[in-house]
Amino acid sequence: MNFNKKWNISLLLLPVLIILTLLMGHSAAFATDNETYKNLKLFNEVLNMVEKNYVEEIDPKVVIHGAINGMIKSLDPHSVFMTAEQYNDLKIDTKGTFSGLGIVITMQDDMIIVVAPIEDKPAFIAGVKAGDKIIKIDGETVKDFTIMDAVHKLRGKKGTKVTITIVREDEDDPIDFDIVRDIIEIKSVKHRTYYEDIGYIRISNFQETTADELDKALKEINAGDVHLKGLVLDLRNNPGGLLGQSVKVSDMFLKSGVIVSSKGRTKDSEHIYTARDDGCEPKCPVIILINGGTASAAEIVSGALHDNKRAILLGSQTFGKGSVQTIVPLKDGSALKLTIAKYYTPAGESIQARGIVPDIAVEYTKPATTDKDGSRQIREKDLKGHIKGEKEEEEEGDGEAGKEIENLKKDNQLKNAIDLLRNWDIFKEI
């Protein structure tokens, strides 16, 4: 057979191959659609049977919502179906004001896990810790709760009490905490200086006002004639929050480079966020404090500044939430919070279920003045009107310096970071 005959046969066969390919693709799609149809038919059959034969009359809406909850619960801990009431609760979260315990929770292995208690709020003051597992709320087991069920139960009017029962890793028996709800007004950013030339900024979460609060804090720290030798950015026990705010916060420290990227199954879920030079970025060295309560948006900032060689990470391994959720409002006022992508650090690493490992590992150690349960023991110096010791008078000196020393005595991770920044020129040469 000559070349022309071969070519003609190939041309004749080409349409046949295209048709077969299309048919095979159509068959695969049809098989998937058919399987979905069969399952929907089964669901409708069960629902019809329940409506007609269940011992008591049912509310179809409650049953269908329960079925949707079960479907979404089978996906991952961060995908949630929310009733209209629960959706309103979520919208309140990002505003920074609500009435509750001041506690951030997640789902893991069908258990409610404390990611972080918010500083100086009721749960924190009561002694609830990151990693605690909540097994009961007001005596009711949380075994079949969704994350939004738990949030709704924990919130309530200011002044009302809620009892949570937790299991803690180093305790043999469950512990009950009776906590009085309060208005939780979360100021996202706090700041101060140490030794007059080391800036300290604490970001507790990422809400709508975080970037604006950080901008104000940076301007106040840099006000005056003092030249900052370094800056500590404290993201410990920061459970995350709004992705957009974490991008803005990262951009405030970076002149260029990728901040974070996301990738999912659809084109809409793929994004690359990059930094822009606005001329206002801090020029001093930065150390970020991280720990097991550093999650989600806080991990984005940590990864962005670390991979762009803008900050050193000090502390312990982060939480490891590397997924992106979107909120889809539904017609009846309810909403679906659905995981649509994983995010990646500038180095292309996914931290999902892995977390970020610090450059300098420093585990937090409790101050010597606390006992086993973490409560502070009263000493002579705590008694009103006590006679001051010589060293105490020296430490208190000008008042503010004494407070600085006391703070650093209680926080070995912060002390390590500040010591490194104060000796940065020596540290760079090592």
Catalytic residues: 296, 307, 321
Q: Quick check: 329 and 87 in contact, CB under 8 A?
A: yes
User: What DSSP line would sit under 134-161, residue for residue?
Assistant: EEEETTEE-TT--HHHHHHHH---TT-E
Q: Cα–Cα distance between 311 and 389 in angstroms, integer?
A: 40
SS3 378: coil
SS3 427: helix
Mutual orientation of helices 3-53 and 60-73 as an angle, nearest 10°? 140
Q: Cα–Cα distance between 116 and 273 in angstroms, integer?
A: 27
Instruction: Please count the other Cβ atoms lying within 10 Å of the Cβ belonging to residue 342.
Output: 16
Q: How many helices (H) and strands (E) does the chain have?
A: 12, 19
Q: Quick check: 295 and 316 in contact, CB under 8 A?
A: no
H helix intervals, 202-289: 210-221, 243-251
Mutual orientation of helices 84-93 and 147-154 as an angle, nearest 10°? 70
Which helix or strand (DSSP H or E) is residue 15 part of?
Answer: helix 3-53
Q: Quick check: 283 and 229 in contact, CB under 8 A?
A: no
Q: Quick check: 192 and 182 in contact, CB under 8 A?
A: no
Q: Are strands 335-344 and 258-264 parallel, antiparallel or unpaired?
A: antiparallel
Residue 83 Cα distances to 63, 94, 113, angstroms = 13, 18, 22
Token pair in block for residue 185 = 């007004």
Residue 200 DSSP symbol: E
Exposed (0-12), middle (13-18) or buried (19+): which is 223, by Cβ within 10 Å?
exposed
